[in-house]
Structure 1
Amino acid sequence: MSYDHILLPSGAAASPAEADAYLTAQQGRPESDVAAQIAAEVNRRNEELPEQDSFLSVAPIDAHGGALHVASPYDAIGHVRALLFELATPHDYAVYDPQLAWLIDPAGHIPVTVTHGGAGEFPYLTESLVHQWIPGLSEPGPYLIVEREPEVYIQTFRDDQDSYILEYRDGSPDKHFGTHLTGADRVADLIWDWTVGDRTRLEALAWDKVDL
C-alpha cells in the first residue's frame, strides 16, 4: 500500500476536489517543463540509493501535463514530503495530500518550521493553512508549533473541543508565556499574527509566565 502526494502549480486548484479534477484533466497531456524537471530530480535522488532503500513505490515517475503524482511506501512519507517541498516550493508548486485532503499551496507563505502533531513537519505556513489546521487538531497529537528560529516560537495545544492553550517563547525560559483561549478561529488568527510579525492582538491578551 502506498501513500500519495501530488504536485500541481500554485493556484491551479483551490480545494481538494479541484486538485483531483486538475490531476484527471492532465492525463494524456504533454509534460510541462517544470513538472518534468521536478520529476527528473525526484528520480535522480531515488536512483542514487540502493534498491532496498527506494522511497518510490513506482519508479521512475512521469509528469502528466503540469501535474506530478508521487507514490511512496508509508515508511518514507516524511522523507518524500520534505523532498517534494524542497523541489516544489521554489517553482511555485503546491503539494496536495489526498489522504488528508490537504492542499498546501505556497501562495502568500511565510517560511517557518511548522510541526503538526498529527502529520509531522512542514516548511512554511499560510493563513489558509493555519485556519484549516487549528480546528482539526485531535488526539494523539492535538498541537501545532510554529518556529521562526531555535527557542523563538508560538504553539498551541487543543485541550478540549473548543479550548486551547496558546504559548509563545521569545528566545529564553524567562520569555515564555501562556494563556487559555476558546475559539479555533481566534487561535488561528493569533498564530498568523505572530507569524507575520504583528503583535497587536497578542499584546492585548493576559499572559502568564510559563515555568518549564
Structure 2
Amino acid sequence: MSFDLAVWFAPAEVTATEAKARYDQIVDAEPGDVKHPQVAAFYRELTVRYPELVDDFENSPWAAGLDLTEAAVVMPITSPHAEVARFVLALARRHGLVAYDPQSGEVHNPGVLTLTSADGSRAENPDAATIRTTLQRLSVTNWHAVLERGDAYVQVGQGQHAGASEGHYALEHRDGSPDRHYRTDVPSREDVATAFLAFATHDDTWRARFEWRKLDF
C-alpha cells in the first residue's frame, strides 16, 4: 500500500478545488527537471534525507520514483513510512510551498494559521471563538492542541501524556528549529487561551507572562 503527496509553489492560498485541479495537471504533465528555485531547494533537501529509489525497495520509503515537473514534486510514499509524510509537510512549509494529499483532498498552505487537536479536528485561520472552543474540548482523551504558522507553533497538553502535573497544563512554543523549543506549566485554561490568542494575532507580549525552560531534543 502507498499514498501520494504533491508539493508545488503557488503565489497565494489555494482551495481544495484549486488544489485538485492543479494536481490533475501535474500528474498529466510531461516529466522534467525541477526548475522553480523553491521547489528545487525542497527536492534537494528531501532527497538528502530520503534518497531517490534505486534498487533498495525494502528500506526506501518510496513506492516508486518521484515524479518531477518544472515546478512540482509528487511523492509515492509506502504506508509504513508515515513519518516521511510529516517530514514532507514540515519541509514544504519551510520552503513556502503548497502540499496536497490527493487521497483526502487536504491542502496545506504555507503561512496559514492551522489549529489541530488530538481528536482529529482541524481549522485553518481560526477566529478567537474557534480557538476557545477547541481549548474547552481538551480532556483526558483529547489531551493536546496545536496552533501553528509555518515553522512556529504554540501547543498545550494536559495529563500524563503531556507530563503535566495534576491541575496544570503543559504549554510549549517553538520558533522554527528544535533548539528554540520552550515549555512552562500553567494552572489555568485561561492562561493557555491567552497564549493561543496572542500567537494568532502576532502579539509576542504573551511570552513575558510566563517563565520558560528550554527543551533539548
TM-score range, shorter chain: 0.5 to 0.7
Q: Does 1:67 align with 2:77?
A: no
1:34-91, CA deviations, whole angstroms, 9 ceiling, x for partnerless residues?
A: 3455446545533489431110111x212234232212111112223314532x3343
Q: Does 1:28 align with 2:32?
A: no
1:100-129, CA deviations, whole angstroms, 9 ceiling, x for partnerless residues?
A: 43311113569xxx985367xxxxxxx835
Q: Does 1:103 align with 2:107?
A: yes
Counterpart position of 2:171: 169
Residues 37/10 of structure 1: CA separation in 2 closer, same or farther (3 Å cut): same
- 1:91 aligned to 88, 95, 100, which one? 95
| C-alpha deviation, 1:22, in angstroms | 0.9
Q: Partner letter of residue 14 of structure 2? A: A
CA contact (8 A) 1:56 1:71 kept: yes
CA contact (8 A) 2:112 2:124 kept: no
SS of equivalent residue, structure 1 residue 68: strand
20-29 vs 30-39, greater mean Cα deviation: 30-39
SS of equivalent residue, structure 1 residue 7: strand
Residues 178/98 of structure 1: CA separation in 2 closer, same or farther (3 Å cut): farther
- The percentage of aligned residue pairs carrying the same residue is 15
| C-alpha deviation, 1:98, in angstroms | 3.1
Gaps of 5+ in 1: 120-126, 158-165, 181-186, 204-212
Q: Does 1:82 align with 2:87?
A: yes
For 2:183 and 2:86, locate their aligned partners in 1 and report how far apart those are by CA, in whole Å: 31
1:127-153, CA deviations, whole angstroms, 9 ceiling, x for partnerless residues?
A: 83556x978999975632359xxxx95
Residues 193/80 of structure 1: CA separation in 2 closer, same or farther (3 Å cut): same
For 2:85 and 2:183, locate their aligned partners in 1 and report how far apart those are by CA, in whole Å: 33
Q: Partner letter of residue 117 of structure 1? A: A
Alignment of 1:54-203 (within 5 A): 54-58=60-64, 60-86=65-91, 88-107=92-111, 116-117=117-118, 128=124, 141=142, 143-146=144-147, 153-155=154-156, 167=169, 169=171, 175-179=185-189, 191-194=196-199, 196-197=202-203
TM-align CA RMSD: 4.6
Q: Say how many residue pairs are matched.
A: 170
Gaps of 5+ in 2: 159-167, 173-181, 210-217
For 1:138 and 1:96, locate their aligned partners in 2 and report how far apart those are by CA, in whole Å: 28
For 2:124 and 2:10, locate their aligned partners in 1 and report how far apart those are by CA, in whole Å: 14
